[in-house]
Amino acid sequence: MKIPIDPLSLTPAISVLYKMWIRSLRFKDQAGWEKIRSLHEQGRPLVLCLWHEEIFAVTGFGYTKTRDLVTFVSQSKDGELITRVLLSLGHVPARGSSSKGGVRALLKAKRIMEQQHRMAVFTIDGPRGPRRVPKDGPIFLAQRAGAKIVPLRAFPRRAIVFEKSWDHFQVPYPFTSCPVRVGDPYDVTTEKLTEEVMGREREKLRQAMESLKPD
């Protein structure tokens, strides 16, 4: 006889395991977080951008530094589990994605950024890819919120890589060294976001992300 298990009931255990895993990692950011901390303390709105494949490590790094974050989560069933885990980390989730509820989530995030003085976190090629191809959302949000974009990447020295997943999702081995690189914060254009302008901004963001290297 099978006893069905509701995955959501496992949220507390998953949250504890994740926090323990993160605490075992040896993050090295070369004082990069100082760029973010300084701007945040000055009251500057920020949109922190990461690749979907690096969520595990980058989210963990953020957890070691701050709780002042609003994060985008899809409206899928899996998104509900992720939402609960993020809440346990101190994030405020905004539910929606590029395929469903995206504009509503972006506007909600903007309000949260303004009212609660939180930084937005964006997996810029999620939730379904293509891999390492930025979408419009972070650019739209940054312009509407008057925020700077901050490229952010993690490079675990040893990790399990799920090669068959669309993003080659990475899970760092416990206790591994994990360099983190923070790019130079920059402002998006104030021009009207036509497709041509948006395409240019997406490419600028892609290049900023790809320019970050572990050493």
pLDDT of 37: 96
Tokens in use for 101?
Answer: 């509820």
Share of the chain above pLDDT 70, in %: 93
pLDDT of 97: 62
Question: To the nearest whole number, what is the mean pLDDT of the chain?
Answer: 92
Q: Does 4 sit behind a cis peptide bond, omega within 30 degrees of 0 on the bond before it?
A: no
Averaged pLDDT for residues 194-208:
98
Cα-Cα-Cα-Cα dihedral sign, residues 109, 69, 48, 45: positive
Lowest mean pLDDT, pick from 7-11, 87-91, 137-141, 196-200: 7-11
Half-sphere exposure of 83 (CA within 13 A, CB side): 14
Tokens in use for 59?
Answer: 């989210």
157 Cβ contact partners less than 8 Å away, ≥ 6 residues apart: 176, 177, 178, 179
| Band of residue 102 on the pLDDT scale cut at 50, 70, 90 | confident
pLDDT of 7: 67
| Band of residue 1 on the pLDDT scale cut at 50, 70, 90 | very low
pLDDT above 50 for 112: yes
| pLDDT tens digits along 57-89 | 999 999 999 999 999 887 766 678 888 899 999
pTM over 0.75: yes
Distance of alpha carbon 135 from alpha carbon 125, whole angstroms? 6
pLDDT of 98: 58
